[in-house]
Amino acid sequence: MRDYTKFYIGGEWVDPAAGATTLDVINPATEDAAGKIALGGKADVDKAVAAAKGAFKSFGRTSRQERVELLGAILGEYVKRQDDIAKAVTEEMGAPSWLSTSAQAAMGAAHFNTAMEILKGYSFEEQRGTTLLAKEPIGVCGFITPWNWPINQIACKVAPALATGCTVVLKPSEVAPFSAYLLTEVLHAAGVPAGVFNMVNGDGPTVGSAISSHPDVDMVSFTGSTRAGVAVAKDAADTVKRVHQELGGKSPNILLDDDGFGEAVSRGVSSVMMNSGQSCNAPTRMFVPKGRMDEAKQVAAQTAEGWAPGDPNGNSRMGPVVSDTQFDKIQDLIQKGIDEGAELVCGGTGRPDGLDKGYYVKPTVFANVSNDMTIAREEIFGPVVSILGYDSLDQAIEEGNDTVYGLAAYVQSTDLDKARDIARQLRAGQVNINGADVDFMAPFGGYKQSGNGREWGDHAFGEFLETKAILGFEAKQAAE
């Protein structure tokens, strides 16, 4: 049992303010408590924000080289603890050990390394005539992060914030807080100055709201559901702070009628099944030519069967979903798909055979889905693929864009020119052609109700900077 009931404020592990309660953190594979955290309140947030505000006076004026060295030290300490972090992710949210090691924990190191390399050459100043345009750290940043990629979503915010000279108050997900605690130990061991990074555990309506509405928080960055993102924006409105959000998605995956079709179907299904479908950019709406629907069903079912859930500490490709709440939501939406007339190709409601404990969901594929069905409109956040048929590419593009979300989109074709043309027409912040590899320099974020602003790479730096124009910085030259 992990006992993580202290908060990290002002460079020290401290007890919560009086009256704090504790919360059991449930291992989703066993449904047993794996540890406990304290749930903070406004007094804890006030203390953390005061520490961050005080530290900003000096940290905001550190040199580029000082921050490069700090990020290097963080990266060095992170690598030492990377295996521990991977194990914590598996325990707290159920990612299978192969995924926790190769992606979940590895992403944290990648973000710190990327920020360090960008910082070495990033331009913070530009001279325009006699005016200097200076990009300066925005100040105290409040971060509210989710449980589905817990360390990734923290690192992709903390790394550029520290690189640009900002200070941080973090509220990690109370559902999956273990990896955040270990990252905090990494930052402390790396010598992050007192008050520059602070962590307070708690729930969204209490600690999250206190961060979002705090007058001394200059910017709040939230990753999570669109519903919660709206609440964060409303909390922040009274203090007119910058609000950065990475929210939900219902990403279209348009497959063209060509020789790469079967491979594209398999790749699309696997992209959803990875992480048990708990990725906001998962390609959950697969658009296929109506004439190849039967082929798509056959390949999709065969691929889904290869993602049999099981013990995440063993050799299973897929683990459980994170909680009983998520399990129940996914079951309800699968049933809704059946009730609304979608064709159930494989999977369905209930636990997989042989698994009577743990929040395991059957890899599920629906076919002949129409774009007005609930399973094509709502973010399921589980291992569920909906296959929709189209008569023309124009129809596929129109229906692909017919969603309140716009986080990601996918195109699969052996005709690269045609894929490029379709990619330009899709209303999404990131479009992936033919299963392209992860690019840590590519901005990540969405259109419409998928949020605003961008994370990852050099675009992330801009979210943490204010622009100052200093007129007359250079003396005006006298006319000859």
- pLDDT at residue 131, as a whole number: 97
> Would 2-247+446-469 and 252-433 be classified into the same CATH topology?
no
- pLDDT at residue 477, as a whole number: 73
Question: Where along the chain do its domains lie?
Answer: 2-247+446-469, 252-433
Q: Starting at the edge strand that comes first in sequence, how are the strands of the sheet with 32-39 ordered?
A: 2-4, 32-39, 21-27
**Catalytic residue selected from 280, 379, 399, 463:** 280
Compute CA distances 238 → 45, 167, 211, whole Å.
18, 22, 13
Does the active-site annotation cover 305? no
- pLDDT at residue 476, as a whole number: 80
Q: 3-class secondary structure for the chain? A: CEEECCEEECCEEECCCCCCEEEEEEECCCCEEEEEEEECCHHHHHHHHHHHHHHHHHHCCCCHHHHHHHHHHHHHHHHHHHHHHHHHHHHHHCCCHHHHHHHHHHHHHHHHHHHHHHHHHCCCEEEECCEEEEEEECCEEEEECCCCCHHHHHHHHHHHHHHHCCEEEEECCCCCCHHHHHHHHHHHHCCCCCCCEEECCCCHHHHHHHHHHCCCCCEEEEECCHHHHHHHHHHHHCCCCEEEEECCCCCEEEECCCCCHHHHHHHHHHHHHHHHHCCCCCCCEEEEEHHHHHHHHHHHHHHHHCCCECCCCCCCCECCCCCHHHHHHHHHHHHHHHHCCCEEEECCCCCCCCCCCCCCCCCEEEECCCCCCHHHHCCCCCCEEEEEEECCHHHHHHHHHCCCCCCEEEEECCCHHHHHHHHHHCCCCEEEECCCCCCCCCCECCCHHHEECCECHHHHHHHCEEEEEECCCCCCCCCC
- Superfamily for domain range 2-247+446-469: Aldehyde Dehydrogenase; Chain A, domain 1 (3.40.605.10)
Question: Which of 3.20.20.120, 3.40.1390.10, 3.30.470.10, 3.40.309.10 is the CATH number of 252-433?
Answer: 3.40.309.10
Q: Are 48 and 200 in contact (CB under 8 A)?
A: yes
- Reading the chain (480 residues) residue by residue, the pLDDT tens digits are 999 999 999 999 999 999 899 999 999 999 999 999 999 999 999 999 999 999 999 999 999 999 999 999 999 999 999 999 999 999 999 999 999 999 999 999 999 999 999 999 999 999 999 999 999 999 999 999 999 999 999 999 999 999 999 999 999 999 999 999 999 999 999 999 999 999 999 999 999 999 999 999 999 999 999 999 999 999 999 999 999 999 999 999 999 999 999 999 999 999 999 999 999 999 999 999 999 999 999 999 999 999 999 999 999 999 999 999 999 999 999 999 999 999 999 999 999 999 999 999 999 999 999 999 999 999 999 999 999 999 999 999 999 999 999 999 999 999 999 999 999 999 999 999 999 999 999 999 999 999 999 999 999 999 999 999 999 999 887 555
Nearest to 411 by CA among 307, 238, 248, 267: 267
Q: What does DSSP say about strands 451-452 and 242-246: parallel, antiparallel, or unpaired? A: antiparallel
Which amino acid does the sequence have at 170? L
The two most distant CA atoms of the chain are separated, in Å, by 89
- pTM score of the predicted model: 0.96
Does the active-site annotation cover 246? yes
- pLDDT at residue 129, as a whole number: 95
Q: What does DSSP say about strands 2-4 and 12-14: parallel, antiparallel, or unpaired? A: unpaired
Residues 6 or more apart in contact with residue 205 via CB below 8 angstroms: none
**Catalytic residue selected from 91, 174, 246, 463:** 246
> Distance between CA atoms of 314 and 37, rounded to whole angstroms?
27
